[in-house]
């Protein structure tokens, strides 16, 4: 975008550029990847027994048949 519009261009020029939709689409795809990676990492930490807040008592691993509130 910067090459096609120019580094000194006003914000309005960037936003009105036909290439802006491609920038937004790429950012949306990247956001999905980042969130997915975060969820995977948090799930793995949870399964390993890590809890928040730090120092909280670890929770015993749940079984497949257990439900919240049972």
pLDDT in tens, 7-61: 999 999 989 999 999 999 999 999 999 999 999 999 999 899 888 777 767 666 6
Does residue 3 or residue 30 have the better pLDDT? Answer: 30
pLDDT at position 66 is 53
* Number of domains into which the chain is organized: 1
40 part of a folded domain: yes
Does residue 10 or residue 67 have the better pLDDT? Answer: 10
14 part of a folded domain: yes
The CB density around residue 9, as the number of other CB atoms within 10 Å, is 14
- Within 8 A by CB and 6+ apart from 13, the residues are 5, 6
20 part of a folded domain: yes
61 part of a folded domain: no
Range of the domain at 17: 2-47
31 part of a folded domain: yes
37 part of a folded domain: yes
């Amino acid at each position: 975008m910067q090459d096609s519009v120019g580094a000194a261009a006003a914000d309005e020029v960037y936003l009105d550029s036909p290439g802006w939709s491609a920038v937004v689409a790429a950012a949306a795809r990247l956001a999905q990847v980042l969130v997915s990676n975060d969820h995977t990492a948090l799930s793995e930490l949870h399964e390993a027994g890590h809890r928040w807040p730090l120092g909280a008592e670890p929770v015993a691993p749940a079984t497949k048949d257990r439900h919240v509130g049972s």
